[in-house]
Chain A
Amino acid sequence: MKIVIRLFLLVAVVALGWWLWTVCFPSPEKAVLKRMQSLAELLTFKSDITPIGRASRASDFISYFSVDTEIVVNVPELGAHTFSGRDEVREAGNGGFATVPSLAVSFLDATAKIGPDKQTADVSCTLKATVGNDKDFGVQELRFKLKKIEGTWQITRAETVKTLK
């Protein structure tokens, strides 16, 4: 019986150690997905947010993108449009944060593939967005390319994916 208890304790200690290791030193995949999760949280705000809060979020929003970033949007409702560089993204972000009453964003089914150099990553996910008090929500499949720049994962390209061709 003693052996069983000792074995059980050993397994528990190993499991705890493994968990602590993954928390302290997350894999690149986890780091990238965590970054995307924090972007979704940044894009989620309620209608009672102050103008300063909106401006602060808009400022933080741009830090997720690289200087040469490119965002390609091609959806039937909005048509095709490309935002090139941080300035265009900043402008669009400022406009969005200033005009949208409230927003709830989540990236569902997000998966990350790390490149062989461990410095780039491809992320695919489904965007679920609810604007204002709408009961309906919008969904859009997205694909991101990220690059590790000065120790931070930044989005170098984001594009909408046509689920149905």
Chain B
Amino acid sequence: MKAWLLLAVIVASTVTADLLQSHEMKRHGEIHDFGPGGLRRVLLALARKTNLILAVVCMAVSFFAFMALVQVADLSFAVPASAGSLVIETILARLILKEQVDSRRWIGAALVAGGVWLLAL
């Protein structure tokens, strides 16, 4: 019961974090400069984005719940089971982020979700 409760916390916080991150990073635009100076500028700029700060908070919640989960469940269960968020996120990517999810991606996401479910058995 404790494991499933932790899993629910992980999924909810992961979905929220990923949507916020993807939205904000698309607004920022593609990163081209991977030199030390460029990375520093990018990280400083990103650290001031409210959505990214909220995303990091959600990831921290997910992380601490994950730490508690791997103490009571197998790693080979905890990681794939927490990916139950994949289908929810793909649907929300279409609905909220307005991404064009073609049939290839839907089928791929469905295969991955099926695989994740089998891993969690």
Q: Do A and B come from one complex?
A: no
What residues of chain A have their CB less than 8 Å away from a CB belonging to chain B? none
What residues of chain B have their CB less than 8 Å away from a CB belonging to chain A? none
